[in-house]
Every structure is written in C-alpha cells, then in structure tokens.
Amino acid sequence: MPSLPKTPPPLAPLLGAHMSISGGPAKALERGHSVGCTAVQIFVKNNMQWFAKDFATAELEAFANSSYRPAIVFGHTSYLINLCATDPVTFERSRAALKAELERADQLGLPFLVLHPGAHMGAGIDTGLARIVESLDFVLASLPKGRCKVALEATAGQGSTIGSKFAELAVIIDRCRYPKRLSVCLDTSHLFAAGYDISTPKKFWNVFAQFEKEVGSTRLAAWHLNDSKAALGSRVDRHEHIGKGKIGLAPFREIMRSEQFSQIPKVLETPKGEDLAEDRVNLGVLRSLL
Ligand code: ZN
Ligand code: FE
Ligand code: FE
C-alpha cells in the first residue's frame, strides 16, 4: 500500500479558558466543552480555602472518563499560597497546601500547576527569592514520586509580589534543586502591567526574545490570555476582555498565529458569568485572529 503523504499537523491552537470545578472536577471539562475549549485550566480545590477534603473515587473516575476531555487540562494553585510569607503560620500552611495541591493534581493526572511565586511582604526581593527556592525544594523533596510540575507565573508586580521580572523567575529556576520540575506560565496582562510592552508585534517579539534569553522558551508551559484594564507598568493586576483593554489585539494575534506556540496551551482568565457567554465572545475574538 502506498504510504499516505505527510501532511502538516492540523492547526490546533490549544485554546480555552479557566473553568470552575464547582460540582466536581469533571464539571469543568463539561463547561469547557460547551464553549469549545481544547485547553482548560482548573483549580484543584476551592481556591479561597487552604485545604479540602480528598477527592471521592467517583469524582476522580468521572474526571478520568469524561467524554468532554480537551487536548490538555492543567491546574492553577490557590491564591492563598505564599511560599515566602513572613508570618510563620502562613508560611507553613503555604508549603503544606502546595504539597496537597500537587498530590491532588497527580490524582487528576494534570501535567503542571501554575503558581504565583510569592510576595515578600517587606522582607525584600532577595530574602523572598531565597525563601521561595527553599520552599520549592522542601515541597518537591517531599514528593519524590510526584509527576505534576510547577509552572511559575510571571506576575504583574502588585504589592510585594515576586516574579514580575524574568530575571526573578530565572533565579528561582537556577537555584532550585529540582529545575526539571519547574516551568513558566506567561500572562499577557501581567507582562503588560509589569512594564513589558507587548502592544505591537515588534515589541511583543522583543519581550519574548528577552524571555528566551533570561529564562528560555523551552520552559514555557502555558499562556494566560487576558487584556489589561491597568496601564503599562502600573503593577496592577486587572484582567479585561480580549481587545477591550489597554493592550490591544497585537500580542494575541502573534500568540495565536505563531507556530512556536501551537502546542502551548492558551487560556482565558477573564471575567464571566455562569452561562460563560463572555468566554464564547473572547474565544471568538481570539479565533478570528488565526
Ligand atoms: Zn495566576
Ligand atoms: Fe494569570
Ligand atoms: Fe492576574
């Protein structure tokens, strides 16, 4: 039989949104499917609580056997976690919570969990970075068989948050004893608010070249696609609907069209109601850029 001609892989933009797990993690996949997601991000538990009761076997089975499975599902850690908290109670809880969330992520088979590196709370960036590295080493050492990676998210730089500069993410990865278990998530709104101007194609690719140089594009695990209500360099984290904020459509067009990102999941974290109407609109805008 003649072999089939080699055709290029279909353009699979791995595009989707963050979805609520209310009603169980399988529900998130159903929600994602209903708006056409090929990539879905979830919290592995209620994101405003430190700890959760274990997944029921039925919940895990429903998730694993869902017929609404997108090409990729990954997780985002709770916003409460601060791996360089100065308050000892919060610090200990943060480490325990990250460990527990990584275990839950492994139960769901998620490849990585996005994590905000931390906020130094006045202790200074160097102290904060050192504590984050120590915490990651501690947590990852406690899970020798853990498969889920940690994707450090570049932040907007609000308050004392660490990770608004590529160099800070690079320091964490370089100093951590488990660099193979670390990757990075880039959020367009955070980049812009942190002062990385991505508002034209040329500026976007300059910023990405800087990321390539300081961190390395092979570390990129995911894009968060959000426009920004806040101005360039404002260090304010306010997500806006795609094309309705201060960034404009240029970087979204580049990210959607570039072959380089075709296998990198891209998810929205924009405001929405329960009927997901806003997701439909935002995903439509993004697809129209292809
Ligand atoms: Zn985040
Ligand atoms: Fe984000
Ligand atoms: Fe954000």
Task: State the CATH number of the domain containing residue 134.
Answer: 3.20.20.150
pLDDT at residue number 13: 85
pLDDT at residue number 9: 43
Helix (H) or strand (E) holding 16: strand 15-18
Least distant ligand from the CA of 224: 2
User: Which tens digit of pLDDT belongs to each residue from 243-278?
Assistant: 999 999 999 999 999 999 999 999 999 999 999 999
Alpha-helical (H) ranges within 223-275 are: 250-257
Q: Which amino acid is at 117?
A: P
DSSP states of 195-228 as a string?
T---SSHHHHHHHHHHHHHHT-GGGEEEEEE-EE
Least distant ligand from the CA of 113: 1
Dist. CA 17–CA 49, nearest whole Å: 22
Q: Would you say residue 3 lies in a domain?
A: no
Q: What are phi and psi of 161, to 5 degrees?
A: -65, 140
Query: Separation of 187 CA from ligand 1 center, angstroms?
Result: 8
Mean pLDDT check: name the lowest of 10-14, 27-31, 70-74, 269-273.
10-14
Q: Would you say residue 112 lies in a domain?
A: yes
Q: How far is CA 73 from CA 8, 108, 125, 228, 266, in A?
A: 24, 9, 32, 24, 11
Query: Separation of 222 CA from ligand 1 center, angstroms?
Result: 11
What protein residues have CB closer than 5 angstroms to ion ligand 2? Answer: 187, 224, 269
Dist. CA 213–CA 268, nearest whole Å: 26
Mean pLDDT of all residues in the chain? 96
Query: Separation of 156 CA from ligand 2 center, angstroms?
Result: 9
User: Which tens digit of pLDDT belongs to each residue from 131-154?
Assistant: 999 999 999 999 999 999 999 999
- Provide the 10 A C-beta neighbour count for residue 159: 12
pLDDT at residue number 12: 57
In which domain, by residue range, is 164 found? 76-279
Q: What percent of the chain has pLDDT over 90?
A: 95
Domain total in the chain: 1
- Provide the 10 A C-beta neighbour count for residue 3: 5
pLDDT-derived band at 204 (thresholds 50, 70, 90) equals very high
Q: Would you say residue 57 lies in a domain?
A: no
Q: Would you say residue 126 lies in a domain?
A: yes
pLDDT-derived band at 77 (thresholds 50, 70, 90) equals very high
